[in-house]
Structure 1
Amino acid sequence: MTVVAERPGPGPKPEADPERKTRAEIITFGVVVAAPLIALITAIPFAWGWGLGWSDIVIAGVLYVITGLGVTVGLHRHFTHGSFKARRPLKIVLGIAGSLAMEMSVLDWVATHRKHHKFSDKDGDPHSPWRFGTGFRAVSKGLLWAHMGWLFETDRANREKYAPDLVKDPDIVKLHKLFPVLAITTIVLPAVLGGLLTLSWWGMATGFFWGTLVRIGLLHHVTWSINSICHVFGEEVFESRDKSRNVWWLAIPSFGESWHNLHHSDPTCARHGALKGQIDLSAGVIRWFEKAGWAYDVRWPTPERLAAKRIAA
């Protein structure tokens, strides 16, 4: 593993956030992290010849795409960074899809991510892998922290401070209040669909296993890998004030989010994989929305802007 020798320089001074996560929220995070991991570990023997059918693949696959794009296109590029503007129906659909990913509510997700960008890889970053230093052991510990350890931190990013625009949006406030209902829906729906498609209790059980546990676990770990892996490993092509990197093998499962270096170099850009050969499925979806008239004022990269940010060879 190649570790950068110098520690990131000083950044903005972090300010204390008055809000705290409740004990129930932290326990819930623990269940959400542990249950999918157990499901993933047991997935192969469970599926060996009798635990996986076409209905399971369709349910898990469709929900992975919907909720994954809800995170990348909705929570990230639209709500957090304003890479494009969305008509109200699309805004609500993206908010629901992102909430069904069961990561955080729209308000909490956006507040946390904006705080990450303000202090990226500096003191105050909620999930920097460089938190403990630059040595091998320190970065190894930091990778675990950045991947999922930070979820158990009691401090919560202040919604009014980091997402004041969304706090004033009545649609987003309603989605925030409905997050527990949406979380239950994303847990129960695959089992219901599995039962209806197969007309069996077994189909309900396998639908829950693959469509809920495995699907949520996979999406969470792909999302968290952007926080951890993409800030330590990979290629740096564009200038940025942090350690963001491009990790090509995560591009497909992350819907283009792993072209992370350009994103941190130009956070409001609607396309993260802007160079030749960089597949960015989220940008393709935004392009479809734009052509349909559902999205507008899309901030696409320009050759001049990309050239200005490229690191000289």
Structure 2
Amino acid sequence: MMSSDTPTGGSTRPGGGSGLDPRLRRAQARHAFAILVLPAIGSLIAIGIAVHDGGVPAAALVILLVSYMATYAGITVGLHRLFAHRAFETTPWLRAVFAVLGCMAAQGPAIYWAANHRVHHIRSDRDGDPHSPRIANGRQLGRWEGFWHAQAGWTFSHRPADVFAVTRDLTRDRRLMWINQRYLWWVALGLILPALAGALAIGGIRGAVLGLLWGGAVRLTLSYHFTNAINSLTHMIGTRPFGGRNTSTNLWPIALPTLGEAWHNNHHAFPTSARFGLAVWEVDIGWWIIRSLEAVGLAWNVRRPLPESISAKRAAAAAGMQVDDDDRVTA
């Protein structure tokens, strides 16, 4: 599906792809094209079959839901909260599981994903942010141009972060590096498993095809666009209870499908917190997963905001004061 030359390194500076080795630039373009276009084509085929058949088998929808939840947990709990921000600690085998599930989402190798996200926080909405809808390559972007850049365009043109500089702690993890270097294996596994599930649950080649289309193509299309909506929409529309020098927002309509990622202003206010949904009504499934792991002893040193820090930042933002991101959280 994707080239084994998928770029995993680069600089913390944006280069618009122009500073990359031509071979890496071509690999980047192939990967970006594959994850944007191929699942979309598969999704259209799945919808066409559903229209022709007068519906979708319940088993295919279950395969979609299970595979989506598992791989999106790999993104939000694994790649984001565990690897990018070290918001909690867990066992080596569970780190490996989250890394594999995150790679199955086909958004790049685990360490590459975490490195780019760390750069996003370092340079948020400034020159150097890999996927800001506000600025790219030193140039201010218009509203629709910025939306396209943050939603998909950046995957074709960004200069990948230098993983050995930005995520040195992760590159020292031999097991994680082994998983990272076999990224395409996990992408393939993320397609094979739903196809097998379809063959067993629905039956035969038709079941395998439906499992592949719904648990593979449709899942990847949804996870790709919901993840990139955090780059685009939650830096363009929504509420800003904590303000901040960046343009991050909370956007409740996509909080459920992103497993809590859409509480993005909360996240920028407390970037190393494992909890994104800070109010009782702010649904954060990623946090519920981590909290459950903590309850059974599989997660520890779980970082969460101090109540006084939350109150102080809300009050400062309400008073119109400029508030910086910080790490005032406690285990």
Q: Give the TM-score normalised by structure 1.
A: 0.90
Please name the residue that 2:36 is paired with. 33
**C-alpha deviation, 1:175, in angstroms:** 0.7
1:278 equivalenced with 2:282 (yes/no):
yes
Aligned partners of 1:52 and 1:308: how far apart in 2? Answer: 50
Query: 2:50 corresponds to which residue?
Result: 47
- Asked if 1:97 corresponds to 2:86, the answer is no
Q: Deviations over 1:54-112 (max 9, x none)?
A: 22111111010000011000000010001111121211111111111111111100111
Count of aligned positions: 298
- Shift, 1:307, TM fit: 1.0
Partner amino acid, structure 1, of 2:171: V
Are residues 168 and 19 of structure 1, via their aligned partners in 2, closer, same or farther at CA, if it must alter by over 3 Å? farther
Say if 2:46 and 2:210, in contact at 8 Å, map to a contact too.
no
The runs of 5 or more residues in structure 2 that have no matched partner are: 1-11, 320-331
TM-score in terms of structure 2 length = 0.85
The letter for the 2-side match of 1:198 is I
C-alpha displacement at 1:119, in angstroms?
0.5
- Counterpart position of 2:27: 24
1:42 to 1:180, Cα distance in 2 relative to 1, 3 A: closer
* Preserved CA contact (<8 Å) 2:130 2:158: no
**Is residue 157 of structure 2 the alignment partner of residue 156 of structure 1?**
no
Match status 1:198 vs 2:181? no
Change (3 A) 1:101 1:15: closer
Answer yes or no: is the 8 Å Cα contact 2:43–2:213 preserved in 1.
no
1:291 pairs with 295, 299, 310, which one?
295
Aligned to 2:318: 312
Whole-angstrom distance in 1 between the partners of 2:167 and 2:20: 14
Query: Are 1:216 and 2:215 counterparts?
Result: no
Give the whole-Å Cα distance in 2 for the aligned partners of 1:53 and 1:187: 18
Corresponding position: 1:254 with 2:233: no
1:77 maps onto 2:76 in alignment? no
Deviation at 1:302, TM superposition (A): 2.4
2:14–2:158 CA contact under 8 A, matched in 1: no
1:269 and 2:282 aligned: no
The farther-off stretch of 246-255 and 48-57 is 48-57
Contact 1:19 1:158 in 2 (8 A): no
Query: 1:231 aligned to 2:267?
Result: no
Q: Does 1:303 align with 2:307?
A: yes
Paired residues of 1:226 and 1:260 also in contact (CA < 8 A): yes
* Contact persistence 2:13–2:161 (CA under 8 A): no
Contact 1:19–1:157 at 8 Å: present in 2 too?
Answer: no
Out of 60, 63, 67, the residue aligned to residue 59 of structure 1 is: 63
CA distance in structure 1 between the partners assigned to 2:46 and 2:247 by the alignment: 34
| Residue type at the aligned position of 2:151 | H
